Chains A and B, each alone.
Chain A
């Protein structure tokens, strides 16, 4: 009997051990389990997906861009247009996981209709259930047009409706075949390729914007009231940094309209210096540069990369879209759309809606205002400058008889090559803008670039559809 007291103590310790197990297990289930099961190594996720036939993906006119089929008791995903949407829709691979919309909209693509689930409970012989289908804002015919126009040049074409933010076309070159067999075969080579075919240049590529940024500088200058005439002598020296016009061309005494249309670096470098850091940064931010935003697929944030105070030379370089300034083509099309839409930028989106097989809605997108970049008045001044640019300036390649096109060219110097990146941003028709386009080609040089003519073709096609 004398040991009973101590035996009870031992029992209490063992009880505490059992209690701690129960408490920890409950704690784990309450607080950790939800995030743990989302780990991509959890094979049950894929297993669950396999039990539901993955939804199809359609363009805005109902053409199938991706679908799944049962083959030998396994689902197989098909992308009939091969690489055309490799960066937008992405791929869905057992080995290489998911990318693009296949990744971000995965939950919806494999989601059974909750109502369907209830009826299925009573019907054991029901066929395999199907996930929701995605309906995109993408215009397959327009993208089909853009694909050959880009040819073998690396770069991207992005087009959207300025009034709503619906993305009509988003094509990046080079691309790759996302179909499973091709992907398995080429993945290693693709991921090592210097051309970086997995990079969706339209939304993830970061480039110096070059002269297309003059839209932003012009807005800042107009707001600050410094947009006066200048004497352009072909080059300008700022703090030992020499800013030159293209081909050192002397434009003489010019106003902002001419300076913009002829893309005077001298003018916009000095505007940059005059508006100052605070103003320039503020306006750039309103155009979404350096700002994060939600998009249907993963997107890089454009960068306004000055941590320390900007000096005069920095401001001059920024004014003409050089310096530590990096933007995505998607961001630049939003800049153009701001001018088209009276200063307002709509949030861009690709997925219009998702429908269950029964026709019930699983997801609907709503046009949303993202930012107000400039006032209507400033927007209309810049619009007239962009029209002038296409009529008489550097952007004549985009001129269309009977349609007023507003645009801006850009050639961006970069650190890696003496060949410049070529840009063209535009929208049309100016009276009632229906489409805004950004065409961008890497290392195209000035002469090799055909960005403006590509935009012209696309506008022509889209408006005459």
Chain B
């Protein structure tokens, strides 16, 4: 390594944010306790370990984890400020996630047959969703949680990744020449139309499960990923038309017949008509962002606790209240750079399957960020979905880290190939 500045400078920035966040929480909230200090210390330790590994071993892209670390730190500071207990768990989840990130990147890199496991992905995805439909429980309006052992998790977070792998596989597996005695379906699968149909079928089965769970945010996210894949690999205008009509149809049904959706649209258009009831969430969020102005009220000096679900779906509003929209815009920029990184890796890798996977992950993080931030700032109707790495919650953190681990693996593989050349 010729010059380490590109890795040291961002690291100093992150440590500065940790330090300032801790100081501000202590000053503004009188929370000068060993817990806070230890948690932030633990966070730094995790960062240090992962960095050291990235620095001294050829593990691929350095930026992905840097950006993620900054987002994670911002999330942990906000959570510590909101509720120490949540911050504590988040540090643990972050460390676990970071570990899985490294493990995933290595596993992904050294196991070479990911593109051949399509059937497994689909079966696992359907099984997870089916289990959720049967044994799951509701939280926040969506029946999307599954309890396993002592842990609760959202299967849809994992299925997201399986979905991306499936679509990447469907579109990039080689077309086999039809042989005598092949089943008709197999012959069909080995045509362009067959691949498009397969992708569409998988997408709509998953969508159906998500709509049954009433998890509209995630459903929109799945649909967006599917549309992105079709746009790049579908090469068939008929599917575009079909999906447009299907989306319109579902939308019209939702707006006209499902009170759940009606309320969302209504509170999006006229949030202040019913502040104390239907419009409560979104208006509390807007009050917080409005009060924050450009520079914010200071970490620990605002009143984000008026916002319902502030630690998960609405954490962006809390960030805006206390650090201003300058802080909010910084968070948006971080996601933007992260997504850009994913696309950059996608564009520079030579492996078609990996190219598709990297793009899928980029779309996933980009659209998810758009859905939740757009929702809480009332740019689009609000649907509950987590803000990756920042919102409180293990499933989201772990799943997104795994996705980034795959990205990391792809970037390292790319370097290997470059090294070989």
Are A29 and B283 in contact, CB atoms less than 8 angstroms apart? no
Nearest CB in chain B: distance from A11 CB, A: 4
Are B283 and A21 in contact, CB atoms less than 8 angstroms apart? no
Are B303 and A15 in contact, CB atoms less than 8 angstroms apart? no
With A17-B366, A36-B286, A39-B283 as contacts: A29 and B293 at CB distance below 8 Å = yes
Tell me the complex Cα distance, A31–B336, Å.
25
A10 interfacial by beta-carbon distance below 8 Å:
yes
Are A4 and B362 in contact, CB atoms less than 8 angstroms apart? no
Selected interface stretch from B55-63, B99-107, B373-381, B396-404: B373-381
Are A18 and B287 in contact, CB atoms less than 8 angstroms apart? no
Chain A contacts for B232, CB-based, 8 A: 3, 6-7, 9-10
Contact with B along A2-31 (1 / 0, CB 8 A): 011011111100110110111011101100
Contact with A along B343-377 (1 / 0, CB 8 A): 10011001010011001001100110110011001
Are A8 and B347 in contact, CB atoms less than 8 angstroms apart? yes
Are A39 and B233 in contact, CB atoms less than 8 angstroms apart? no
Mark out the residues of chain A between 313 and 362 whose CB falls within 8 Å of any chain B CB in the assembled complex. Answer: none
A182 interfacial by beta-carbon distance below 8 Å:
no
Nearest CB in chain A: distance from B407 CB, A: 14
Are A11 and B289 in contact, CB atoms less than 8 angstroms apart? no
Tell me the complex Cα distance, A42–B275, Å.
10
Give the nearest-CB partner of A33 in chain B.
B290
User: Which single member of A33, A34, A39, A47 contacts B289 (CB below 8 Å)?
Assistant: A33
Contact with A along B321-352 (1 / 0, CB 8 A): 00001001100110110011001001100101
Nearest CB in chain B: distance from A38 CB, A: 9
Chain B contacts for A32, CB-based, 8 A: 286, 290
Are A14 and B290 in contact, CB atoms less than 8 angstroms apart? no
B residues with a Cβ closer than 8 A to A are 228, 231-233, 272, 275-276, 283, 286-287, 289-291, 293-294, 303, 306, 320, 325, 328-329, 332-333, 335-336, 339-340, 343, 346-347, 350, 352, 355-356, 359, 362-363, 366-367, 369-370, 373-374, 377-379
Nearest CB in chain B: distance from A124 CB, A: 10
Chain B contacts for A34, CB-based, 8 A: 290
Are B272 and A25 in contact, CB atoms less than 8 angstroms apart? no
Other A-B pairs beyond A10-B363, A14-B363, 13, CB < 8 Å: A7-B343, A8-B347, A11-B343, A25-B325, A26-B325, A29-B325, A37-B287, A39-B272, A41-B275, A41-B287, A42-B287, A43-B303, A44-B287
Nearest CB in chain B: distance from A301 CB, A: 27
User: Which single member of A8, A14, A25, A47 contacts B377 (CB below 8 Å)?
Assistant: A25
Tell me the complex Cα distance, A9–B228, Å.
10
With A15-B336, A17-B367, A42-B291 as contacts: A6 and B231 at CB distance below 8 Å = yes
Are A25 and B329 in contact, CB atoms less than 8 angstroms apart? yes
Nearest CB in chain A: distance from B385 CB, A: 14
Chain A contacts for B336, CB-based, 8 A: 15, 18
Tell me the complex Cα distance, A3–B293, Å.
43
With A14-B363, A14-B367, A39-B275 as contacts: A22 and B291 at CB distance below 8 Å = no
Tell me the complex Cα distance, A289–B206, Å.
70
Nearest CB in chain A: distance from B179 CB, A: 27
Q: What secondary structure prevails in chain A residues at the interface with B?
A: helix
Q: What secondary structure prevails in chain B residues at the interface with A?
A: helix
A sample of 27 cross-chain residue pairs with beta-carbon separation below 8 angstroms, ordered by A number, consists of: A1-B350, A3-B233, A8-B343, A10-B232, A10-B359, A11-B339, A11-B343, A11-B362, A14-B370, A15-B336, A17-B374, A18-B336, A21-B332, A21-B374, A22-B332, A25-B289, A25-B320, A25-B332, A28-B286, A28-B289, A29-B290, A29-B293, A34-B290, A36-B286, A37-B290, A39-B272, A41-B275
Nearest CB in chain B: distance from A271 CB, A: 52
Tell me the complex Cα distance, A20–B336, Å.
12
Give the nearest-CB partner of A12 in chain B.
B343
With A11-B362, A17-B367 as contacts: A43 and B306 at CB distance below 8 Å = yes
Chain B contacts for A20, CB-based, 8 A: 374, 379
Give the nearest-CB partner of B303 in chain A.
A44
Tell me the complex Cα distance, A377–B329, Å.
69
Are A33 and B306 in contact, CB atoms less than 8 angstroms apart? no
User: Which single member of B293, B352, B355 contacts A33 (CB below 8 Å)?
Assistant: B293
- Point out which of A8, A25, A32 has the most chain B C-beta atoms below 10 A from its C-beta: A25
With A10-B359, A18-B335, A18-B370 as contacts: A25 and B328 at CB distance below 8 Å = yes
Nearest CB in chain A: distance from B168 CB, A: 11
Tell me the complex Cα distance, A42–B306, Å.
9
Contact with B along A68-106 (1 / 0, CB 8 A): 000000000000000000000000000000000000000
Chain A contacts for B272, CB-based, 8 A: 39
Chain A contacts for B352, CB-based, 8 A: 3
Tell me the complex Cα distance, A33–B335, Å.
24
- Point out which of A6, A10, A28 has the most chain B C-beta atoms below 10 A from its C-beta: A10
Are A14 and B339 in contact, CB atoms less than 8 angstroms apart? yes
Give the nearest-CB partner of A1 in chain B.
B350
Give the nearest-CB partner of B276 in chain A.
A41
Nearest CB in chain A: distance from B374 CB, A: 6
Tell me the complex Cα distance, A10–B232, Å.
8
Chain B contacts for A15, CB-based, 8 A: 336
Are B231 and A24 in contact, CB atoms less than 8 angstroms apart? no
Nearest CB in chain B: distance from A211 CB, A: 48
